[in-house]
Amino acid sequence: MEYFIGSLSTLFVMFICVKFIFKAEDFTENKTKYNYSQSHIHEIVKPLLPPIKYLKKQVKSQSRNHEEKTNVRVIIMDNKAYWVRDNLFFVADMDDEGIDKDTTRVLDIMSMDKVQLDKMLFIVDKLRDEE
C-alpha cells in the first residue's frame, strides 16, 4: 500500500508540473515549421564534403572509348588551332568559317626556341587535361 500511495502522489506531482510547463510556454503560437529537403541538408554539409572532382572516377565504357576514338580535342590560340592526333602535334590556321584544312601541318618541336616550347607545353597540358 505504501508503494501505491507513493506512485500515485508521484504521478499527481508530475501531472501538475507538466500542466504548469505547457501553460507557461504556449507551443501553439510559436511553432516554426522547418522544411528539410535534400538540397537544404546538402547546403548545410557542403563545407564538410570533398570537392566533386575527387569523387568522380572516369569509368571506361564503350561510349567513352568510341568518343575518344572519333573526337579530337582542339585548342584555339592566337588565331590558330592546335591538336594532337596519333602522337603528332598539328596546327592549322583559322578563318571566318572555322579551321582552314588546307593549312594543316605537323609542328616540328625540335626546332623551336624556349618561348615557343613553353607555349606548346601549355597547349599539350590543356589538351591532355581530363575533365
First-to-last CA distance in the chain? 79
Closest CA to 82 of 130, 43, 116, 42: 116
The pLDDT tens digits for 71-122 are 888 999 888 999 888 888 899 999 888 888 889 999 888 888 999 899 988 9
Eight-state DSSP code of residue 50: P
The pLDDT tens digits for 92-103 are 999 888 888 889
User: For the residues 24-30, what does the mean pLDDT come to?
Assistant: 58
Q: What is the DSSP string of 3-37?
A: HHHHHHHHHHHHHHHHHHHHHHS-TTTS-------
How long is the chain? Answer: 131
H/E stretch holding 40 reads helix 38-45
Confidence of residue 127 (pLDDT cuts 50, 70, 90): confident
Asked if 125 and 115 touch (Cβ cutoff 8 Å), the reply is: no
Q: CA quadruple 39, 45, 50, 51: dihedral positive or negative?
A: positive
**Domain residue spans in the chain?**
71-128
Q: Say what the pLDDT of residue 10 is.
A: 92
